[in-house]
Amino acid sequence: MTWHRLTRTWEALSQQIERGEAPAELSPAWRMLLMGDGAPTRHFQVVSGQDIQIDLIEMKPIGEAVEAFPAEMALIPSPRLRRQIWLRTASGERLAYATSWWPVQDVDRSLENPLLPIWTSLSTKHTEFYRDLKGLYLGTNAELIKAFDHPGPFWGRHYLMWRNGAPFTLIYEVFSPAVEKYLGPTLMPQEIRTLEAIST
């Protein structure tokens, strides 16, 4: 089994990410979700009024492998473990897909219960951490089209999480258009075409 990487049609420049410059066409709520350093689990819980749960797809040791993307995975000590989940409301509405990579020797300390969202696990133990956004993009993926029951494109991002001055996991997230129910539309078709033109 592999993980669901987006084929990107648009990607933010590194300097845009450093300055927190999301595309101007996005609503403020979507800019906060995509560019902010808060936990999507917490955001979704607040806007939906429901508990946010996960469906665990996979927790698999991958050894020394440095999978093709994101490049920052090389900063996560090996051997590594890959974890894939769906993030959903308690009523079953699927809101996001996420893949994360962890040092095998550290994952039990960070995720005592792998069936809980990461934010829940870390906040329960009052763990301090920092999200370091490294990529923001718009794209498609055949498996996510099926899973989200939507033709896309989808917004995705990846970031390192730091604790005590060192990265301890890398997380790749893709958001379902179902989130628009709570945050409003992302981009209209003509705006998507504009972003696609910028990327070429």
b or e along 139-170 (b: 16 or more beta carbons within 10 Å of the residue's beta carbon)? Answer: bebeebeebbeeebbbbbbbbbbbbeeebbbb
pLDDT at 173 (0 to 100):
95
Kindly report the CATH number assigned to the domain that includes residue 178. Answer: 3.40.1410.10
Using pLDDT thresholds of 50, 70 and 90, give the confidence band for residue 179. Answer: very high
What is the largest distance, in Å, between two alpha-carbon atoms of the chain?
Answer: 47
Residue 83 lies in a domain: yes
Q: 60: domain range?
A: 7-199
pLDDT tens-digit map of 154-176: 999 999 988 888 888 999 999 99
Tokens representing 79? 């051997």
Using pLDDT thresholds of 50, 70 and 90, give the confidence band for residue 115. Answer: low
Residue 40 lies in a domain: yes
Cα–Cα dist 69/156, whole Å? 13
Residue 36 lies in a domain: yes
Residue 1 lies in a domain: no
The average confidence (pLDDT) of the chain is 84
Residue 132 lies in a domain: yes
Residue 147 lies in a domain: yes
200 or 151, higher pLDDT: 151
Tally of structural domains, the chain: 1
pLDDT at 55 (0 to 100):
93
Residue 64 lies in a domain: yes
Using pLDDT thresholds of 50, 70 and 90, give the confidence band for residue 134. Answer: very high
Residue 2 lies in a domain: no
CB 76 within 8 A of CB 103: yes
